[in-house]
Structure 1
Amino acid sequence: MTQPAAARATAPTVSTVVCTYNGATWVGEQLQTLLTQSRIPDEIVIGDDASTDETWHVVEAFAAQARARGIALKLTRRTERLGYVANFSRALSEATGDIVFLCDQDDAWHPDKIATMVARFAADPRLTFVHSDARLVDAAGRDLGHGLFEALELSPHEREGVRSGDAFLVYLRRNLATGAASAFRRSLLEVALPLPHDWVHDAWLATLAAAVGRIDIIDDALVDYRQHGANQIGMARRTSKQRVTDMFRPRNDTIRADAARLDALVDRLEGRCADDACIEATRAMRDHLQARLAIGGRPVWGRVAPVMREWTSGRYALFGTGARSAIRDLLRIG
């Protein structure tokens, strides 16, 4: 049963931000799951990135239903493509709710998703960002038999780091938050916007949230996260063969891009983050990546000494996957 409007008036207001692009196949199902929430959103912001299929017609039909339920709508149909990240950045800037939910166009929310996450924020005024597990499903909505956190190989050590207050190092090392399973206080946008073009939006938001506030993880799956050929971002478990192949593949381009992203993070944190330790950790990881770039440019026989220096410094363990990262640097092609 949905929450009456009078009861919602005393609770934090909720904005759901949906970004669409040629998503007519699934966007209708996703939007309907916003209306079947036990706690419906107060505001829905939809930014369409110049779709050329029937997406906008689906959005307009949904808008009439949402308005009939008393939900405020902000709809924007762009005439030129901005791209995935820029479209989200524009749409997020229009959200006015106390709590902001990110919404993809091709998933399906479980009925208690909003209520569960809002309750977490109500219980902890310090909480800035929360994200949950998700059930992975195929294009037809069939359960793939494993969840998002399992596919990410989320470790007990990482969970403990997040919940003990050391979340920044966890999210600096790698992103664990998927936008479709995330919500945050709108105050985070004062630091996060505009979204940088070279970051994935959910990774940027989660990392900044860890720097300026507190993050929590919900172990329950609150969304069906659809895996299909047209995903902007997908998720699948790695096979043993993929793990072995991964040890040898070239990494310099990836490492170089990661180092550039850290430059953008330092620029944003300076002057906006009270915790200098976060800035120093970001610089230290950037230096580690620069060292790994130099290692990748050496012949294999000349890598042992610099890899040992990085190993002795502890930075493989702090900013990578420990021995696995060190072995990759010894074996990779470039």
Structure 2
Amino acid sequence: MVKPCIDIILATYNGARYIEQQIRSIQQCDHYFYLVARIIVVDDGSVDDTRAIVCNLQNSDSKIEWHINKSGKQGAKENFSYALGLAQSEYIMLCDQDDFWHKDKILLSYQALIALQANNQPQLVFTDKVVVDDLLNVICESFFKYRKIPINWHESTERLLQMNVASGCTMMFNQALLRQAMPIPTQAFMHDWWLILVAQLSGNVILINRATIKYRQHSKNTIGAKDYSLNYLVRNFSEHLEKFERNFWRAVEQAETITSLFNNEPDVDVPFSHFRKLGYWRRLGYFFQGRVCQSNWKSQLALFLILLKGTSYTKLNSHKS
């Protein structure tokens, strides 16, 4: 029998409403007790009953650990980054507090990783997910279909630098990737985006074209899979364009950072990583050539508008991670 070799990183913040259902869905996964070494719960300062619920579940499952984020920085990226430093098993999975795992999620990802037979190189697998509402009613059977994302988007380094399509809650990866990716820099947009970029540039990325979780959408999602109606976007045009603009330049900053770290890798020398240095007309030229792009027409229109506007990168880059 295989020795438990998977650490599950579960980041929490005021997750009392869903956390028990999430943990129980993990426990009900195929081969959970044989494959999973620990569920490492790291809390970011909850003031609800999250801790009490987790402590109660610990009474019947010694794999569950409770930790506090001691990094001094709050937020999903910082909480996961701190938690990743606690992982010791050969394989790591990331888990949100409000989703629901399918029974085959752990085994399916594990089998895909070990089939690569290259533990000394960074390896990452991720899957599709079912988009559901807060009561787990299905909104769409596929996140990729819901967001109109081509299934092969991740295969292009250029496109992956511009838009992440792999949610951390669907990932499994090895310690070799963790060693390459840590510490996650402040310039990283999000922890999961950084992890898949590092895997893409220094190892292997595999998509399992199958949903392995129910991805819950509600008002408190940090990022989520929202697909706003055209009417809503028109009524809130300025707010959403400003957010898109800010996020675009943060993606450029992340691309610059990873280029500087992996400048000996041939795949990293891509136009997007030099986008800030380009002049106004060159940027527009890249758009019309399809070298900067988004996966759906709404985002593509927003991208065109901000490039047409010619916004100053420095002005927009005064964000907080």
Read off the aligned partner of 2:251 and give its amino acid letter: D
Read off the aligned partner of 1:262 and give its amino acid letter: A
Find out whether 1:192 has 2:165 as its counterpart. no
Question: Which position in structure 1 is the counterpart of 2:265?
Answer: 276
Is the Cα contact below 8 Å between 1:136 and 1:225 reproduced in 2?
A: yes
Aligned partners of 2:219 and 2:48: how far apart in 1?
A: 17
Q: After TM superposition, give the deviation of residue 209 of structure 1 in Å.
A: 0.7
Question: Which position in structure 1 is the counterpart of 2:257?
Answer: 264
Find out whether 1:76 has 2:63 as its counterpart. no
Aligned partners of 1:151 and 1:197: how far apart in 2?
A: 30
Q: 1:241 to 1:267 in 2, by over 3 A?
A: same
Q: After TM superposition, give the deviation of residue 24 of structure 1 in Å.
A: 0.4
Gaps of 5+ in 1: 1-6, 296-304
Q: 1:156 to 1:141 in 2, by over 3 A?
A: closer
Is the Cα contact below 8 Å between 1:209 and 1:215 reproduced in 2?
A: yes
- Equivalent in 285, 292, 311 of residue 272 of structure 2: 285
TM-score normalised by structure 1 residue count: 0.78
Aligned partners of 1:307 and 1:121: how far apart in 2?
A: 39
Question: Which position in structure 2 is the counterpart of 1:29?
Answer: 21
Find out whether 1:239 has 2:229 as its counterpart. yes
Is the Cα contact below 8 Å between 1:35 and 1:66 reproduced in 2?
A: no
Find out whether 1:89 has 2:66 as its counterpart. no
SS of match in other structure, 1:257: helix
Read off the aligned partner of 2:48 and give its amino acid letter: D
- Which piece of structure 1 moves more, 55-64 or 144-153? 144-153
Question: Which position in structure 2 is the counterpart of 1:181?
Answer: 170
Aligned partners of 1:308 and 1:237: how far apart in 2?
A: 26
Is the Cα contact below 8 Å between 2:6 and 2:91 reproduced in 1?
A: yes
Question: Which position in structure 1 is the counterpart of 2:101?
Answer: 109
Q: 1:156 to 1:231 in 2, by over 3 A?
A: closer
Is the Cα contact below 8 Å between 1:42 and 1:97 reproduced in 2?
A: yes
Question: Which position in structure 1 is the counterpart of 2:39?
Answer: 44
SS of match in other structure, 1:115: helix
Once the two structures are superposed, the pairs formed by residues 7-18 of structure 1 within 5 Å of their partners are 7-9=1-3, 13-18=5-10
Q: 1:65 to 1:329 in 2, by over 3 A?
A: same
Aligned partners of 2:167 and 2:30: how far apart in 1?
A: 22
Aligned partners of 1:236 and 1:194: how far apart in 2?
A: 30
Find out whether 1:172 has 2:157 as its counterpart. no
Is the Cα contact below 8 Å between 1:50 and 1:81 reproduced in 2?
A: no
Question: Which position in structure 1 is the counterpart of 2:60?
Answer: 65
Aligned partners of 2:151 and 2:15: how far apart in 1?
A: 36
Q: After TM superposition, give the deviation of residue 137 of structure 1 in Å.
A: 0.9
The structure with the largest alpha-carbon Rg is 1
Aligned partners of 2:213 and 2:151: how far apart in 1?
A: 22
Aligned partners of 1:333 and 1:287: how far apart in 2?
A: 16
SS of match in other structure, 1:123: helix
Is the Cα contact below 8 Å between 2:287 and 2:304 reproduced in 1?
A: no
Q: After TM superposition, give the deviation of residue 20 of structure 1 in Å.
A: 0.4
Read off the aligned partner of 1:222 and give its amino acid letter: T
Identity within the alignment, %? 22
Deviations 1:125-157 (A, max 9, x none): 247111111111111111113421112322155
Is the Cα contact below 8 Å between 1:85 and 1:197 reproduced in 2?
A: no
Q: After TM superposition, give the deviation of residue 168 of structure 1 in Å.
A: 2.6
Question: Which position in structure 2 is the counterpart of 1:300?
Answer: none
Read off the aligned partner of 2:273 and give its amino acid letter: R
Is the Cα contact below 8 Å between 1:255 and 1:289 reproduced in 2?
A: no
Is the Cα contact below 8 Å between 2:158 and 2:272 reproduced in 1?
A: no
Aligned partners of 1:308 and 1:93: how far apart in 2?
A: 41
- Which piece of structure 1 moves more, 168-177 or 54-63? 168-177
Deviations 1:167-201 (A, max 9, x none): 43342231010011111112111111122234211
Gaps of 5+ in 2: 312-321
Question: Which position in structure 2 is the counterpart of 1:132?
Answer: 127
Deviations 1:8-33 (A, max 9, x none): 32xx7111011101100001110111
Is the Cα contact below 8 Å between 2:284 and 2:307 reproduced in 1?
A: no
Q: Show structure 1 runs of 4+ deviating over 6 A.
A: none
TM-score normalised by structure 2 residue count: 0.81
Question: Which position in structure 2 is the counterpart of 1:3?
Answer: none
Q: After TM superposition, give the deviation of residue 307 of structure 1 in Å.
A: 5.4
SS of match in other structure, 1:260: helix
Q: After TM superposition, give the deviation of residue 87 of structure 1 in Å.
A: 1.3
User: What number of residue pairs does the alignment pair up?
Assistant: 295
